[in-house]
Structure 1
Amino acid sequence: MANNKDDVPKFKLILVGDGGVGKTTFVKRHLIAESEMKYASRLPVIVRPFNFYTNLGEIIINVWDTAGQERFGGLRDGYYIDAQCAIIMFDVTSRISYRNVSQWHKDIIRICGNIPIVLCGNKIDVKHRKLKAKSITYHRRNNMQYYDISALSNYNLEKPFLWLAQKLTGNDNLQFVSQIPLLPPEINLDPDMLREYELQLKEAASRPLTDDGDDDDEL
């Protein structure tokens, strides 16, 4: 990859999901100077450039943050145009935010076509999550990657970007070679709880999918 800053590969990422699932908290965990942020023309969107240093060189993923605009009747098509990858986020304490994942996905496909997408279940730091791993099957049916995340604890915040960077560059051997600069975690996760969640994800991945869509009876 190029060393000249102007030649660094740049990609547009759209971050979608219901209001209140933690999207803005997620992006604000990453340390970015205010001077580097930009506003999209004619759209109420903040564009945050995330610089990643990899074994193949530097890449920049420009994260488009809606700043809560989805609360006021959805997002305009201009938000999606020219996006090269996406993160769909839901809240593991909110069943409706997971049920709405399909509509966010349809909007992406309608405008962007078949781009790499990561599905993220945020707020796993909440002790009594309502959506367990066995209930989360949408990604398996729709060729997505899935990660449990916790924005407040910084858990797994780098993984969606690493997976997307590998797909965007067409190289699954790409790795980050420096730590992503993040704010200090606001909370600490229980290690035993994390191990249990990781085990549940592995077990869920091995379960056969049913023929009637997501396992809504488990929601």
Structure 2
Amino acid sequence: MVSAIIMFDVTSRLTYKNVPTWHRDISWVCENILVVLCGNKVNVKNRQVKAKSVTYHRKEYYFEKPFLYLARKIAGNMDLKFVEEIALVPADVTIDVAAQQKIDKEIELAAAIPLPDGYDDNM
């Protein structure tokens, strides 16, 4: 099952106003996609999008609940539970500059590919 998380910034009304457009675009590209809506920066005092004004959703979630919901839907097991693990020190990471440049070039080439016929940014 294909899934996506649409995240908006609660300190910016504009990002919340874009949610229907983002949902439409994702649904246009991936039919029958499972989408979960999340608001980030909820701990910031200068909140512009209040919880009661969020209407493009079904339920109010905490941070872990959207991921648990997606995992349950993907696994087909609504009784699935997350189990805590101890926090480990992350491994040292070495970035291969040549590999990163190759990835950047692939992204640049992909961005230049036109969208399929019938796609309209003003839908």
Is TM-score (shorter-chain normalized) higher than 0.5? yes
Secondary structure at the aligned position of 1:124 is classed as: coil
Q: Aligned partners of 1:164, 1:179: CA distance in 2, in Å? A: 19
Aligned partner of 2:116 in structure 1 is none
Aligned partner of 1:147 in structure 2 is 61
Alignment identity in percent? Answer: 60
Q: Aligned partners of 2:14, 2:67: CA distance in 1, in Å? A: 25
Secondary structure at the aligned position of 2:57 is classed as: helix
- Does structure 2 retain, via aligned residues, the 8 Å contact 1:85–1:117? yes
Aligned partner of 1:105 in structure 2 is 23
Secondary structure at the aligned position of 1:130 is classed as: coil
Q: Number of residues paired by the alignment? A: 89
Q: Structure 1 residues 117 and 123 mapped into 2: Cα distance closer, same or farther (>3 Å)?
A: same
1:137 is displaced (CA, Å) by: 0.7
Task: Map 1:61-210 onto structure 2 (within 5 A).
Answer: 84-140=2-58, 146-147=60-61, 156=63, 158-179=64-85, 181=87
Q: What TM-score results when the alignment is normalised by the length of structure 1? A: 0.37
Q: What TM-score results when the alignment is normalised by the length of structure 2? A: 0.63
Secondary structure at the aligned position of 1:139 is classed as: coil
Higher strand share: 1
RMSD across aligned C-alpha pairs, in angstroms? 2.3
Q: Aligned partners of 2:65, 2:88: CA distance in 1, in Å? A: 13
Q: Structure 1 residues 88 and 170 mapped into 2: Cα distance closer, same or farther (>3 Å)?
A: same
Q: Aligned partners of 1:92, 1:182: CA distance in 2, in Å? A: 31
1:146 is displaced (CA, Å) by: 4.8
Q: Return 5+ residue gaps in structure 2 as ranges.
A: 90-123
Residues 92-132 of structure 1: per-residue CA shift (max 9 Å, x gap): 01000000011110111101112221100000111131111
1:180 is displaced (CA, Å) by: 7.8
Q: Return 5+ residue gaps in structure 1 as ranges.
A: 1-10, 12-83, 149-155, 184-219
Secondary structure at the aligned position of 2:61 is classed as: strand
Q: Aligned partners of 2:53, 2:84: CA distance in 1, in Å? A: 34
Q: Aligned partners of 1:134, 1:110: CA distance in 2, in Å? A: 28
Q: Aligned partners of 1:174, 1:180: CA distance in 2, in Å? A: 19
1:179 is displaced (CA, Å) by: 3.2
